[in-house]
Amino acid sequence: MTPREIAIAALAVGGVFFAVVAAVGVIRLPDLYTRSHSASKSDTLGAGMALAAVALTFGADISTVKTVLLLLFMFITNPTAAHAITRAAAEEGIEPWTRDDEEVDE
Amino acid sequence: MSDASANGAPSNDETESDERTVRPYVESPIIMATVRVVAPFVFTFGLFIMFHGADSSGGGFQGGVIVGTVILMLGIAFGIEPTREWVDPRTLVSLVGVGVLVFLVIGFGTVVAGGGFLDYDAVDIYHANKYGIELVELAIGVIVSGIITGLFFAIAAGASGGESA
């Protein structure tokens, strides 16, 4: 394998890993805030790495420019969408999840 | 972190003390900045999809939805009421009407020129087929984006809102 192929494979595997982490987080975490935390951070990185792999695969091509633009907008809009959702939830007065047994006040 | 909690705590108290008075929507600088950056690109992308319909996948319906999304984003970022004032419902309805008119004029224009309905080659213009399809796509896009925006405003008005479109 050439170094480029290794880089593409590593990026693709990393992208799949972070996408799976995000999916597990969305299913397993208890409330809206924690879920959006998982979905925004992990999913953005996963999609970003997958798109970087795609861009590397295309090489010097106009498609690479499009893919990099897509990556850029993904990095801008995905966290903003999560911010908008959680902000709306906070505005509605949804309480963050806490553990019932021990009320830790930090 | 400390900023967020400092902002969050008083606003929560406020909602609890002023029982159910609707506070004016406070815009988030993050959302506004992002929308300011992204909106022109989304608009251009929507137009691109619309005009691409003649050559490959894409077309007026998809592009119209994307262009309508721009208004939707503005509504989410800057509040519904300012957006509603900016985009007058009457303008929206007339846009939809103009779209339908353009479509019909092109459709029956080719009939007048001696072809069938939307039979572009009957008109004696260079590449009439391509330009005809693109004009029709543009008309469809205007209709679709107007309808999407109108539906958004109608939904945002809520069950009690009596305002039309």
Task: Give the count of domains, chain A.
Answer: 1
Asked if B30 lies within 8 A of A80 by C-beta distance, the reply is yes
Is residue A97 one of the residues assigned to a domain?
A: no
pLDDT above 80 (res B14): no
Q: Average pLDDT of B83-98?
A: 88
| Helix (H), strand (E) at residue A70 | helix A62-91
- The answer to whether the Cβ–Cβ distance between B8 and A80 falls below 8 Å is no
Asked whether the predicted pLDDT for residue B155 surpasses 70, the reply is yes
B8 near A CB under 8 A: yes
Contacts of A7 (CB under 8 A, 6+ apart): A56
Whole-number pLDDT of residue B24: 60
| Mean pLDDT within A15-21 | 95
Identify the pLDDT of residue B139.
92
Please tell me if residue B15 touches chain A, with a CB cutoff of 8 Å: yes
Flag whether A7 is in a domain: yes
Residue B19 lies in a domain: no
Asked if the Cβ–Cβ distance from B31 to A93 is below 8 Å, we say no
- Is residue A8 a part of any domain in this protein? yes
Over range A38-66, report the average pLDDT: 91
When divided into structural domains, chain B yields a total of 1
CA-CA distances (angstroms) from residue A58 to A8, A72, A91, A104?
11, 17, 44, 51
Host domain of residue B151: 30-156
Q: Residue A29 falls within a domain, yes or no?
A: yes
A10 pLDDT above the threshold of 90: yes
Residues from A contacting B (CB-CB < 8 Å) are: 73, 76-77, 80, 83-84, 87, 90-91, 93
> Does A96 map to a domain?
no
Crossing angle for the helix pair A32-58 and A62-91, to the nearest 10 degrees: 180
- The answer to whether residue A104 is domain-embedded is no
User: Does B28 lie at the interface with A, CB-CB under 8 angstroms?
Assistant: yes
- Assigned domain for B21 exists: no
- Going B151 to B157 to B159 to B164, the CA torsion angle's sign is negative
The residue range of the domain holding A46 is 3-91
* Residue range B110-138, pLDDT digits in tens: 888 888 888 888 777 788 888 888 888 89
The pLDDT, as a whole number, for residue B10 is 44
A100 belongs to a structural domain: no
- Tell me the pLDDT tens digit for each residue of A54-82: 999 998 889 999 999 999 999 999 999 89
- pLDDT band at residue B80 using 50, 70 and 90 as cut-offs: confident
Higher-confidence residue of B122 and B11: namely: B122
pLDDT at B4 (0 to 100): 42
Sign, CA dihedral A65-A66-A70-A76, equals positive
Residue B73 burial (CB count, 10 A): 21
